[in-house]
Amino acid sequence: MPDLQTDFDAAVASSKKLAERPDNATLLKIYGLYKQASVGDNTEKKPGFSDMIGRAKWDAWNGLKGTSSDDAKRQYAQLIESLS
C-alpha cells in the first residue's frame, strides 16, 4: 500500500499541472484541504470584511476544523485525482 504522504506530495505536484483551471468552489476546497493537511486546524484570525478572497479561503479552511491531517491528505489526493 502506497504511503499517504507520498500520495499527498504527488497530488500537490499534480495540482500544479491540471489541464484546466477548476472553478472557484473547487479551488477553495483544494486550498482548505491542503491547509488542513499541512498545518492542521485553523487558528488564524478571520480576515477583515474588505478582504473577500482572504475570508473565502479562511472559511474554506475553517470549515474543515476537526478533520485529521491524514484524512485531509486522503481527501486532497482523491480530489486532485478526480480533476486529472
Q: Which pLDDT belongs to residue 84?
A: 86
Q: What is the pLDDT of residue 24?
A: 96
Report how far residue 37's alpha carbon sits from residue 60's, in angstroms, rounded to the nearest whole number. 13
- C-alpha to C-alpha distance for 45 and 51, rounded to whole angstroms: 12
Give the mean pLDDT per block of 10 residues along the chain (84 residues).
87 94 96 97 96 97 96 97 92
* 70 Cβ contact partners less than 8 Å away, ≥ 6 residues apart: 4
Which residues touch 51 (CB under 8 Å, ≥6 apart)?
Answer: none
For residue 2, the model assigns a pLDDT of: 67
* Domains (range + CATH), the chain: 4-15+23-83 (1.20.80.10)
Q: Is the pTM of this model over 0.85?
A: yes
Q: Could you identify the residue written with the cell 495540482?
A: 15
